[in-house]
Amino acid sequence: MPPSAGEPFGARLRRAMDQRGPLCVGIDPHPELLAAWQLPDSAEGLARFADTVVAALADRVAVLKPQSAFFERHGSAGVAVLERAVADARSAGALVLLDVKRGDIGSTVAAYAGAYFGEGAPLRCDAITLTPYLGYESLRPALDRARADGAGAFVLARTSNPEGAATQTARTEAGVPLAQTVLNDLARENAGAEPWGSFGAVVGATAPESSLELTINGPLLAPGLGAQGATADDLPRVFGPALRQVLPSASRSVLRRGPGVDGLRAAAEWEAAELARVLA
Protein backbone atom coordinates (compact mmCIF):
# COMPACT_ATOMS: atom_id res chain seq x y z
CA MET A 1 0.00 0.00 0.00
CA PRO A 2 1.30 3.50 -0.75
CA PRO A 3 2.50 5.33 2.35
CA SER A 4 -0.08 7.46 4.14
CA ALA A 5 2.27 9.01 6.65
CA GLY A 6 5.64 10.61 6.24
CA GLU A 7 5.81 11.70 2.62
CA PRO A 8 3.08 14.29 1.99
CA PHE A 9 0.28 13.66 -0.46
CA GLY A 10 1.33 16.57 -2.68
CA ALA A 11 4.75 15.01 -3.29
CA ARG A 12 3.27 11.56 -3.91
CA LEU A 13 0.72 12.99 -6.32
CA ARG A 14 3.28 14.97 -8.29
CA ARG A 15 5.44 11.86 -8.67
CA ALA A 16 2.47 9.70 -9.71
CA MET A 17 1.43 12.24 -12.34
CA ASP A 18 4.99 12.45 -13.68
CA GLN A 19 5.33 8.67 -13.85
CA ARG A 20 1.83 7.64 -14.96
CA GLY A 21 0.49 10.78 -16.58
CA PRO A 22 -1.97 13.37 -15.24
CA LEU A 23 -5.21 11.39 -15.33
CA CYS A 24 -7.78 10.70 -12.64
CA VAL A 25 -10.46 8.13 -13.45
CA GLY A 26 -13.68 7.95 -11.51
CA ILE A 27 -15.25 4.79 -10.17
CA ASP A 28 -18.87 5.86 -10.54
CA PRO A 29 -21.25 2.90 -10.66
CA HIS A 30 -24.30 4.76 -11.96
CA PRO A 31 -27.34 2.50 -12.30
CA GLU A 32 -27.20 3.18 -16.04
CA LEU A 33 -23.59 1.98 -16.22
CA LEU A 34 -24.37 -1.13 -14.20
CA ALA A 35 -27.15 -1.90 -16.67
CA ALA A 36 -24.85 -1.26 -19.63
CA TRP A 37 -22.36 -3.70 -18.12
CA GLN A 38 -25.24 -6.18 -17.60
CA LEU A 39 -24.73 -6.08 -13.85
CA PRO A 40 -27.46 -6.00 -11.19
CA ASP A 41 -28.10 -2.74 -9.34
CA SER A 42 -27.03 -4.32 -6.06
CA ALA A 43 -24.01 -4.68 -3.81
CA GLU A 44 -22.99 -7.71 -5.89
CA GLY A 45 -23.12 -5.60 -9.06
CA LEU A 46 -21.12 -2.84 -7.37
CA ALA A 47 -18.46 -5.30 -6.33
CA ARG A 48 -18.05 -6.73 -9.83
CA PHE A 49 -17.96 -3.22 -11.30
CA ALA A 50 -15.41 -1.86 -8.82
CA ASP A 51 -13.23 -4.99 -8.97
CA THR A 52 -13.07 -4.71 -12.76
CA VAL A 53 -12.11 -1.03 -12.76
CA VAL A 54 -9.45 -1.57 -10.11
CA ALA A 55 -8.02 -4.60 -11.94
CA ALA A 56 -7.94 -2.68 -15.23
CA LEU A 57 -6.54 0.66 -14.09
CA ALA A 58 -5.05 0.74 -10.58
CA ASP A 59 -1.60 -0.28 -11.78
CA ARG A 60 -1.44 2.36 -14.54
CA VAL A 61 -3.34 5.58 -13.80
CA ALA A 62 -2.19 8.15 -11.26
CA VAL A 63 -5.47 8.49 -9.37
CA LEU A 64 -8.72 6.58 -9.00
CA LYS A 65 -11.69 8.53 -7.64
CA PRO A 66 -14.58 6.46 -6.27
CA GLN A 67 -17.82 8.44 -5.91
CA SER A 68 -19.00 7.46 -2.45
CA ALA A 69 -22.69 8.20 -3.07
CA PHE A 70 -23.10 5.38 -5.57
CA PHE A 71 -21.84 2.93 -2.95
CA GLU A 72 -23.66 4.47 0.02
CA ARG A 73 -27.02 4.13 -1.74
CA HIS A 74 -26.72 0.37 -1.14
CA GLY A 75 -26.28 0.80 2.61
CA SER A 76 -23.75 -1.08 4.67
CA ALA A 77 -23.19 -3.69 1.96
CA GLY A 78 -22.31 -0.95 -0.52
CA VAL A 79 -19.96 0.76 1.90
CA ALA A 80 -18.22 -2.58 2.49
CA VAL A 81 -17.63 -2.80 -1.27
CA LEU A 82 -16.21 0.73 -1.22
CA GLU A 83 -13.85 -0.12 1.65
CA ARG A 84 -12.45 -3.05 -0.27
CA ALA A 85 -12.17 -1.10 -3.53
CA VAL A 86 -10.22 1.70 -1.83
CA ALA A 87 -7.82 -0.74 -0.16
CA ASP A 88 -7.33 -2.83 -3.33
CA ALA A 89 -6.70 0.22 -5.52
CA ARG A 90 -4.07 1.57 -3.14
CA SER A 91 -2.42 -1.83 -2.84
CA ALA A 92 -2.14 -1.94 -6.64
CA GLY A 93 -0.36 1.41 -6.70
CA ALA A 94 -3.01 4.02 -7.49
CA LEU A 95 -3.59 7.02 -5.30
CA VAL A 96 -7.22 7.06 -4.17
CA LEU A 97 -9.19 10.30 -4.02
CA LEU A 98 -12.49 9.55 -2.35
CA ASP A 99 -15.20 11.85 -3.68
CA VAL A 100 -17.35 12.52 -0.62
CA LYS A 101 -17.69 16.34 -0.65
CA ARG A 102 -17.89 16.56 3.13
CA GLY A 103 -18.45 19.91 4.79
CA ASP A 104 -19.65 20.69 8.31
CA ILE A 105 -18.30 22.25 11.48
CA GLY A 106 -16.28 21.35 14.55
CA SER A 107 -16.61 17.86 15.93
CA THR A 108 -18.67 16.72 12.95
CA VAL A 109 -15.88 17.48 10.49
CA ALA A 110 -13.45 15.77 12.84
CA ALA A 111 -15.70 12.69 12.87
CA TYR A 112 -15.84 12.62 9.08
CA ALA A 113 -12.05 12.93 8.93
CA GLY A 114 -11.71 9.95 11.26
CA ALA A 115 -13.35 7.75 8.64
CA TYR A 116 -10.74 8.62 5.99
CA PHE A 117 -7.45 9.51 7.66
CA GLY A 118 -5.20 7.82 10.18
CA GLU A 119 -4.18 4.30 11.11
CA GLY A 120 -7.25 2.09 11.35
CA ALA A 121 -9.59 4.43 9.46
CA PRO A 122 -12.13 2.18 7.70
CA LEU A 123 -11.95 4.14 4.43
CA ARG A 124 -8.35 5.26 4.70
CA CYS A 125 -7.45 6.93 1.42
CA ASP A 126 -4.98 9.41 0.00
CA ALA A 127 -7.33 12.40 -0.28
CA ILE A 128 -10.98 13.40 -0.13
CA THR A 129 -13.11 16.19 -1.57
CA LEU A 130 -14.42 18.88 0.79
CA THR A 131 -16.98 21.66 0.44
CA PRO A 132 -16.04 24.99 2.09
CA TYR A 133 -19.32 26.85 2.05
CA LEU A 134 -19.80 26.77 5.82
CA GLY A 135 -16.56 28.74 5.89
CA TYR A 136 -13.10 27.57 4.92
CA GLU A 137 -11.90 27.35 8.53
CA SER A 138 -14.79 25.02 9.36
CA LEU A 139 -12.72 22.43 7.49
CA ARG A 140 -9.71 22.84 9.78
CA PRO A 141 -10.14 19.51 11.67
CA ALA A 142 -10.15 17.59 8.37
CA LEU A 143 -7.24 19.56 6.92
CA ASP A 144 -5.15 19.03 10.04
CA ARG A 145 -6.00 15.32 10.20
CA ALA A 146 -5.09 14.90 6.55
CA ARG A 147 -1.77 16.69 6.99
CA ALA A 148 -0.88 14.53 10.00
CA ASP A 149 -1.59 11.38 7.95
CA GLY A 150 0.41 12.47 4.91
CA ALA A 151 -2.90 12.75 3.03
CA GLY A 152 -4.59 15.60 1.22
CA ALA A 153 -7.87 17.19 0.20
CA PHE A 154 -9.45 18.91 -2.78
CA VAL A 155 -11.71 21.81 -1.83
CA LEU A 156 -14.54 22.91 -4.12
CA ALA A 157 -13.81 26.29 -5.67
CA ARG A 158 -15.26 26.72 -9.21
CA THR A 159 -17.07 23.52 -10.05
CA SER A 160 -18.22 22.09 -13.38
CA ASN A 161 -21.95 22.08 -12.61
CA PRO A 162 -23.82 25.15 -13.88
CA GLU A 163 -25.82 25.46 -10.65
CA GLY A 164 -22.66 26.32 -8.74
CA ALA A 165 -21.95 29.55 -10.58
CA ALA A 166 -24.35 31.79 -8.65
CA THR A 167 -22.70 30.99 -5.32
CA GLN A 168 -19.11 30.60 -6.48
CA THR A 169 -18.97 33.81 -8.51
CA ALA A 170 -20.74 35.91 -5.84
CA ARG A 171 -18.49 38.62 -4.46
CA THR A 172 -17.54 39.41 -0.90
CA GLU A 173 -17.85 42.90 0.56
CA ALA A 174 -14.29 43.45 -0.62
CA GLY A 175 -15.33 42.60 -4.19
CA VAL A 176 -13.51 39.26 -4.35
CA PRO A 177 -15.32 36.28 -5.94
CA LEU A 178 -16.11 33.62 -3.36
CA ALA A 179 -14.24 31.02 -5.41
CA GLN A 180 -11.14 33.22 -5.28
CA THR A 181 -11.28 33.40 -1.48
CA VAL A 182 -11.17 29.59 -1.40
CA LEU A 183 -8.20 29.58 -3.76
CA ASN A 184 -6.44 32.20 -1.64
CA ASP A 185 -6.96 30.11 1.49
CA LEU A 186 -5.51 27.06 -0.27
CA ALA A 187 -2.49 29.05 -1.44
CA ARG A 188 -1.79 29.95 2.19
CA GLU A 189 -2.30 26.28 3.19
CA ASN A 190 0.33 25.20 0.66
CA ALA A 191 2.84 27.99 1.19
CA GLY A 192 6.42 26.76 1.14
CA ALA A 193 5.60 23.14 0.27
CA GLU A 194 7.85 21.31 -2.22
CA PRO A 195 7.27 20.23 -4.95
CA TRP A 196 3.79 21.46 -4.14
CA GLY A 197 1.25 21.34 -1.34
CA SER A 198 -1.22 18.62 -0.48
CA PHE A 199 -4.37 20.74 -0.60
CA GLY A 200 -5.91 21.26 -4.00
CA ALA A 201 -8.91 22.97 -5.51
CA VAL A 202 -11.71 21.60 -7.63
CA VAL A 203 -12.00 23.77 -10.74
CA GLY A 204 -14.17 22.36 -13.49
CA ALA A 205 -12.80 21.92 -16.99
CA THR A 206 -16.14 23.28 -18.21
CA ALA A 207 -15.73 26.57 -16.34
CA PRO A 208 -15.57 29.60 -18.62
CA GLU A 209 -12.32 31.48 -18.91
CA SER A 210 -12.07 33.77 -15.91
CA SER A 211 -9.74 36.04 -14.02
CA LEU A 212 -9.35 33.65 -11.09
CA GLU A 213 -5.79 33.29 -9.79
CA LEU A 214 -5.25 29.53 -9.85
CA THR A 215 -1.60 29.23 -8.85
CA ILE A 216 -2.09 27.81 -5.35
CA ASN A 217 1.13 25.74 -5.16
CA GLY A 218 -1.06 22.68 -5.25
CA PRO A 219 -3.08 20.49 -7.60
CA LEU A 220 -6.24 21.49 -9.46
CA LEU A 221 -8.74 18.68 -9.91
CA ALA A 222 -10.54 19.32 -13.20
CA PRO A 223 -13.75 17.31 -13.59
CA GLY A 224 -15.91 17.68 -16.67
CA LEU A 225 -14.00 15.79 -19.36
CA GLY A 226 -16.07 13.63 -21.65
CA ALA A 227 -19.73 13.28 -20.65
CA GLN A 228 -19.95 16.84 -19.30
CA GLY A 229 -18.65 18.26 -22.55
CA ALA A 230 -15.07 19.39 -21.91
CA THR A 231 -12.09 18.13 -23.89
CA ALA A 232 -8.33 18.26 -23.41
CA ASP A 233 -8.23 21.25 -25.75
CA ASP A 234 -10.30 23.28 -23.27
CA LEU A 235 -7.71 23.01 -20.52
CA PRO A 236 -5.24 25.72 -21.65
CA ARG A 237 -8.09 28.22 -21.98
CA VAL A 238 -9.49 27.48 -18.52
CA PHE A 239 -6.25 27.07 -16.58
CA GLY A 240 -3.72 29.25 -18.37
CA PRO A 241 -0.43 29.56 -16.46
CA ALA A 242 -1.61 26.96 -13.92
CA LEU A 243 -1.88 24.23 -16.57
CA ARG A 244 0.88 22.06 -15.07
CA GLN A 245 -1.06 21.89 -11.81
CA VAL A 246 -4.09 20.30 -13.47
CA LEU A 247 -5.27 16.77 -12.65
CA PRO A 248 -8.03 16.14 -15.21
CA SER A 249 -10.77 13.72 -14.22
CA ALA A 250 -12.72 11.46 -16.57
CA SER A 251 -15.40 9.00 -15.49
CA ARG A 252 -18.16 7.95 -17.86
CA SER A 253 -16.04 8.50 -20.98
CA VAL A 254 -13.77 5.70 -19.69
CA LEU A 255 -16.27 3.55 -17.80
CA ARG A 256 -18.71 3.21 -20.69
CA ARG A 257 -15.99 1.24 -22.50
CA GLY A 258 -16.41 -1.59 -20.01
CA PRO A 259 -17.08 -4.22 -18.88
CA GLY A 260 -13.97 -5.62 -20.49
CA VAL A 261 -10.59 -4.81 -18.95
CA ASP A 262 -9.09 -4.19 -22.39
CA GLY A 263 -11.78 -1.67 -23.27
CA LEU A 264 -11.25 0.26 -20.03
CA ARG A 265 -7.49 0.31 -20.52
CA ALA A 266 -7.83 1.47 -24.13
CA ALA A 267 -10.16 4.29 -23.09
CA ALA A 268 -7.83 5.43 -20.30
CA GLU A 269 -4.84 5.27 -22.64
CA TRP A 270 -6.67 7.40 -25.20
CA GLU A 271 -7.57 10.01 -22.55
CA ALA A 272 -3.98 10.01 -21.29
CA ALA A 273 -2.61 10.52 -24.81
CA GLU A 274 -4.97 13.43 -25.43
CA LEU A 275 -3.93 15.04 -22.16
CA ALA A 276 -0.23 14.50 -22.85
CA ARG A 277 -0.65 16.33 -26.17
CA VAL A 278 -1.96 19.40 -24.33
CA LEU A 279 -0.24 19.26 -20.97
CA ALA A 280 3.29 18.24 -22.02
Active site residue ranges: 101
d(CA 93, CA 29): 21
CA 65 to chain centre: 5
Torsion of CA 111, 116, 118, 124, to 10 degrees: 150
d(CA 137, CA 134): 8
**Helical segments of 161-260, H only:** 165-168, 178-189, 235-239, 252-255
Compute φ and ψ for 160, nearest 5 degrees.
-85, -15
For residue 223, the 8-state DSSP code is E
Cα→Cα distances 16→1, 10, 95, 164, 208, Å: 14, 10, 8, 30, 28
